[in-house]
């Protein structure tokens, strides 16, 4: 489990297709404190550490994960939001994030509003019903509050601090981002469907 509070920005340094996609990510985390088998959310995708070096870790990405996320478009040099798994007693500063990406949303607008930036996204139609104003979503692993929703289009604001400590300062219209809907929203919708049946 994660909180959507990004704690490092990593850089993809190697990609190799060996049955599954193997990705090496450079990090400023203390690698001595990472165990093989640990989970690290990388752009919001929960990935298992399979190898470690002095300032990097490697993960294997299944074809299923590639098909549901933006990882298939990763290239050497790509910066990615990183978060270590939640530990008992850690502050829950964002919302509960599983690292199991539901789909990919597209950035459709970027507009500065004061010091903040308003971003517009188009979600997959099947996920739109789970996104609500003032609810939470995880986008590329960052816990963000939804401002408005119109059908499959929704908007969020990113404050300057978030742009500085994540990859949101690099975003462009047309980018595809990993979308994880709020787990609570999923269960509430499921209960409502069951009650209507």
CB within 8 Å of 188: residues ≥ 6 apart: none
* DSSP label of 2: B
From CA 146, how far away is CA 161, in angstroms rounded? 18
Stretch among 57-61, 104-108, 151-155, 183-187 having the lowest mean pLDDT: 183-187
Read off the pTM: 0.89
From CA 171, how far away is CA 104, in angstroms rounded? 14
Q: 77-128 pLDDT, tens per residue? A: 999 999 999 877 677 677 778 889 999 999 999 999 999 999 999 999 999 9
Q: 130-145 pLDDT, tens per residue? A: 999 999 999 999 999 9
Nearest to 104 by CA among 65, 150, 53, 135: 65
What's the CATH number of domain 103-196, 1.25.40.20, 3.10.450.50, 2.40.30.20, 3.30.1360.70? 2.40.30.20
Q: What pLDDT is stored for residue 197 in this prediction?
A: 64
Confidence of residue 158 (pLDDT cuts 50, 70, 90): very high
Fold of 8-84: Elongation Factor Tu (Ef-tu); domain 3 (2.40.30)
CB within 8 Å of 86: residues ≥ 6 apart: 1, 2, 3, 92
**What tokens appear for 156 in the block?**
């969020």
Q: What pLDDT is stored for residue 53 in this prediction?
A: 97
* Residues counted in the chain: 197
Domain-wise residue ranges, the chain: 8-84, 103-196
Would 8-84 and 103-196 be classified into the same CATH topology?
yes
For CA atoms 86, 10, 14, 121, the dihedral sign is positive
| 3-class secondary-structure state, position 124 | coil
Q: What pLDDT is stored for residue 181 in this prediction?
A: 93
* pLDDT for 55 beyond 70: yes
Confidence of residue 37 (pLDDT cuts 50, 70, 90): very high
């Amino acid at each position: 489990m994660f909180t959507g509070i990004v704690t490092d920005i990593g850089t993809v340094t190697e990609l190799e297709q060996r049955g599954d996609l193997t990705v090496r990510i450079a990090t400023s985390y203390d690698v001595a404190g990472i165990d093989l088998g640990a989970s690290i959310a990388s752009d919001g995708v929960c990935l298992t550490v399979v190898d470690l070096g002095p300032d990097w870790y490697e993960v294997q990405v299944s074809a299923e994960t590639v098909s549901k996320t933006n990882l298939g478009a990763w290239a050497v040099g790509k910066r990615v939001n990183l978060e270590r798994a939640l530990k008992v007693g850690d502050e829950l500063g964002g919302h509960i994030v599983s690292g199991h990406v539901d789909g990919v949303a597209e950035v459709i607008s970027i507009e500065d509003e004061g010091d903040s930036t308003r971003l517009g996204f188009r979600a997959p139609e099947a996920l739109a019903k789970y996104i609500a104003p003032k609810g939470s979503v995880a986008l590329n692993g960052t816990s963000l509050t939804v401002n408005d929703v119109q059908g499959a289009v929704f908007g969020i604001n990113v404050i300057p601090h978030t742009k500085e400590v994540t990859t949101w300062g690099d975003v462009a219209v047309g980018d595809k981002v990993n979308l994880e809907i709020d787990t609570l929203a999923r269960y509430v919708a499921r209960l409502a469907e069951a009650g209507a049946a």
